[in-house]
Amino acid sequence: METKNIMIVGVGGQGTLLTSRILGGLTIGAGYDVKLSEVHGMAQRGGSVVTFVRYGEKVYEPIVEEGQADVLIAFEKLEALRYVHFLKKDGAIVVNDQQIDPMPVVIGAAKYPENILEEISKNHRVYKVDAIEEAKRLGNSRVFNVIVLGIAAQHMEFSKEEWLSVIEKTVPAKTIDINKKAFELGYNLR
Amino acid sequence: MSEKVLMLGNEAFARGAYEAGCKVSAAYPGTPSTEISENIIKYKEIYSEWSPNEKVAMEVAVGASIIGVRALASMKHVGLNVAADPLFTASYIGVTGGLVAIIADDPGLYSSQNEQDTRAVARAAKIPVLEPSDSAEAKEFVKFAFDLSEKYDTPVIVRSTTRLSHSQGLVELGDRVDIQDKPYVRDAAKNVMMPGNAKGRHLLVESREKALINDSCDFPINTVEYKDKKIGVITSGIPYQYVKEALPEASVLKLGIVNPLPRKLIEDFASKVDTLYVIEELDPIIEEQVKSWGIKAIGKDILTVQGEYSANMIRRAVKGEEISILPATDIPNRPPILCPGCPHRSVYTILKKLKIRAAGDIGCYTLGAVAPLGVVDTTICMGASISSLHGMEKAKGKDYIKDWVAVIGDGTFLHTGINSLMNMVYNKGTGTVLILDNSTTGMTGHQDHAATGKTLMGEATYSVDLEKLCRAVGVQQVHVINAFDTKNLEKTIKEAVVADEIVVIIAQAPCALLDKSPVTKQYAIDQEKCKKCGLCMKPGCPAITKRENGDIEINDTMCNGCGLCADQCRFDAIKSI
């Protein structure tokens, strides 16, 4: 099988590392070779962060490059736009419909782009969700990233049971139930 | 087959030290090396500490080695500069118990002040360098390094990079080897490096290098893969992964040891391929040596000395491939920023208001250099804020620095800032020093230090009293003020900068991310009272945004309740909720 490339992008502090841990557990459980690459340190302080996940028979490079991503998971709209050129032409992009103004926008030195989702839709299949609203309805806004992951899971080859079993092993014991609910919600969203 | 697990490069380094029978580990945190020590504490067989700086960490490891125990020091590339003094002489002393230093470079400058290449330092120190290319090798190479260290009586550096340290890959776990401590034998000719003894040891260092140049040709950590011999590539570390991806048909010599170079192995490989490329990130360390032997090679003439490489970069450079991709969109940057509720923001807002410049230092507070705060004028290295301010004063006179302060964090102050403060007192400086005391090493992810009352292994310990420490080196005026007590802080800073003596102001408030308990207090804007003047946005808190209709709002998922915005408001429109 050809190596699969997944990217998770967002703003430092949004929980991209948890999502990549779940993906890592899933792919290794299925017997693949897998590499993940993360951002730590200064860049995490509210900056633009990106995580790469690659799995297949034999994976060399730990990063995904422009035009190679099969699935792009974006926790924030501007970050979706920043990395959309990493997607393959037939790749899928899942976008959490949230706007977090970067400092140049906050101080008026730049403008937050309008119609980001429409712009991305011109070239790609876009699946958008207001995951924070959905998560609040579940009772915990912090599980929004697992809802987004559930949508992305629709575009990957693993079964729902495989996903749920990894989530159970990865998240803190107290939050297993709500995270499973969050995943199912995303997985069933059409 | 034993269990395979997904491990971060740094986690695998720690596992390697464990399996190698390492008993002592010392480090100073620094991205991208921090997680090595954070993972070593999982192994109760290893004593592990945060030292106040890299020099101390290296010396702790050297001491353990001299007495016959396997020891590890780990740090980032710039930390090795601090530790260079013990390292260069440890090269002469050699080892009794194996001594390994894991040094993490940062090509691409994800979290560093320069892009220096550790291999160049190691060449100067005449110390062998091994370079793994994934997590599995990270573990194995550390084990090999300990054996090599004892066999050749030398410290060994294992070089990492950000991409290796912060990538996860599959690792097969092994057992810890049972290594007996070597007996300590009093031996001044080996362990006392005064001129007469060091002359003798220098001879041994030179013959050790010669032996390694030969013997390393047979090290199993070097691998040769012959395929199409039209293109041959010499590479090592993470660039190997890019080469395999970009040039699957090429013959590849992957070096596990990159200093000294296994000369015969390289000459043999070069003679068997038509065109030879050397593909290495940062400086042309391998390339220049290979060329100096009269071998034709292509390297930095088509590849850069800056930043990280990638498979696409190699495809373009070596094969001239046009890679058609959609262009990136020109959109606003998202630079790192101080967190909502960060106490540094409070201090910087005052400095900005008073139009005071800051000689800065290394930590989260370096972010005070960027808009909208923009108060930090200089950042050099750990501890340099105080000493460089002192240099400015000596260059231009005390009146010149009446609108300057030095800003330094608590961890950085204990790292090397204390020396600079001692110097300022000794040499009759009059500068103002702000110690931003957030009770942790913030930027690297909350590591303890000598003033937090806790060790790396989780034990309660003595906590250095920063105020007493400053008084002990001779500072007469030391003020301890809550970082959010803006009135008091502003008044004290105003008086301090014009005073004809050294004033240290310790601005205290814990890092906003340190307290993991739920936020109990938040602020909101009363839209009826709000005049939309934007004063509350001046400190640049990311939790405050202006909507398109002009309304200013506080994002309740981000606000940490510090109240700095309410402090700015002249219309009483921001209230705690």
A2 in B contact zone (CB under 8 Å): no
Note the pLDDT tens digit of each residue in B268-295.
999 999 999 999 999 999 999 999 999 9
Indicate which CATH number applies to the domain containing B433.
3.40.50.970
Output the pLDDT for position B2: 67
CA distance B74 to B97: 17
Residue B333 lies in a domain: no
Q: Which of B202, B29, B1, B49 is nearest to A31 (CA)?
A: B1
Residue B337 lies in a domain: no
Residue A72 near residue A145 (C-beta atoms within 8 A): no
CA distance B242 to B235: 10
Q: Do B202 and B276 belong to one domain?
A: no
Strand A48-56 and strand A33-37: pairing? antiparallel
Residue B425 lies in a domain: yes
Dihedral of the alpha carbons of B416, B419, B423, B424, in degrees to the nearest 10: 60
Give the ipTM.
Answer: 0.94
| Angle in degrees, CA B544, B545, B549, rounded to 5 | 140
A79 in B contact zone (CB under 8 Å): yes
- Å between A99 CA and nearest CA of chain B: 11
Interface test with B, best of A20, A52, A65 (most B CBs within 10 A): A65
Q: Which of the listed residues B202, B218, B234 is the one where a domain comes to its end?
A: B218
CA distance A104 to B542: 11
Q: Do B243 and B211 belong to one domain?
A: no
Among the ranges given (B24-38, B67-81, B456-470, B517-531), the one the predictor scored with the smallest mean pLDDT: B517-531
| Angle in degrees, CA B408, B413, B418, rounded to 5 | 125
* Contact check, Cβ <8 Å, A37/B163: yes
Q: Do B457 and B565 belong to one domain?
A: no
DSSP B536: G
Place of tokens 């490329």: B277
To the nearest whole percent, how much of chain B has pLDDT over 70? Answer: 100
- Å between B545 CA and nearest CA of chain A: 6
Q: Do B227 and B213 belong to one domain?
A: no
Q: Do B250 and B314 belong to one domain?
A: yes
Q: Do B172 and B192 belong to one domain?
A: yes
Residue B457 lies in a domain: yes
Q: Which of the listed residues B218, B244, B273 is the one where a domain comes to its end?
A: B218
* Contact check, Cβ <8 Å, A38/B245: no
Output the pLDDT for position B546: 87
| Angle in degrees, CA B166, B148, B263, rounded to 5 | 90
In the CATH hierarchy, which fold is given to the domain comprising A4-188?
Pyruvate-ferredoxin Oxidoreductase; domain 3 (3.40.920)
Note the pLDDT tens digit of each residue in B114-158.
999 999 999 999 999 999 999 999 999 999 999 999 999 999 999
Its pTM stands at: 0.96
Residue A108 phi, psi (nearest 5): 80, 10
Residue B56 lies in a domain: yes
Does residue A190 or residue B265 have the better pLDDT? B265
Residue B21 near residue B70 (C-beta atoms within 8 A): yes
Residue B29 near residue B53 (C-beta atoms within 8 A): no
Q: Do B30 and B167 belong to one domain?
A: yes
Q: Do B152 and B291 belong to one domain?
A: no
Helices H / strands E in chain B, number of each: 21, 23
Output the pLDDT for position A43: 62
Q: Do B262 and B198 belong to one domain?
A: no
Indicate which CATH number applies to the domain containing B266.
3.40.50.920
Domains of chain A, by residue range, sit at 4-188
Q: Do B192 and B69 belong to one domain?
A: yes
Interface test with A, best of B331, B446, B538 (most A CBs within 10 A): B331
Output the pLDDT for position B529: 97
Q: Do B205 and B236 belong to one domain?
A: no
Residue B490 lies in a domain: yes
Residue B286 lies in a domain: yes
Instruction: Print the domain residue range for B298.
Output: 223-319
* Contact check, Cβ <8 Å, B325/A67: yes
| Upper half-sphere CA count for residue B285 (Cβ side, 13 Å) | 22
Residue B331 lies in a domain: no
Tell me how far CA of residue B28 lies from CA of B14, B34, B108, B231, in angstroms: 15, 8, 21, 42
Candidate from A35, A79, A103 with C-beta closest to B167: A35
Among the ranges given (B52-61, B347-356, B529-538, B554-563), the one the predictor scored with the smallest mean pLDDT: B554-563
A113 in B contact zone (CB under 8 Å): yes
Q: At a CB cut-off of 8 Å and minimum separation 6, what does A180 contact?
A: A164, A167, A168
CA distance B361 to B383: 6
Q: Do B227 and B214 belong to one domain?
A: no
| Angle in degrees, CA A52, A184, A46, rounded to 5 | 40
Indicate which CATH number applies to the domain containing B542.
3.30.70.20
Candidate from B31, B311, B337 with C-beta closest to A65: B311
Q: How many domains are there within chain B?
A: 4
The two three-digit tokens of residue B524, written as one number: 């909101």
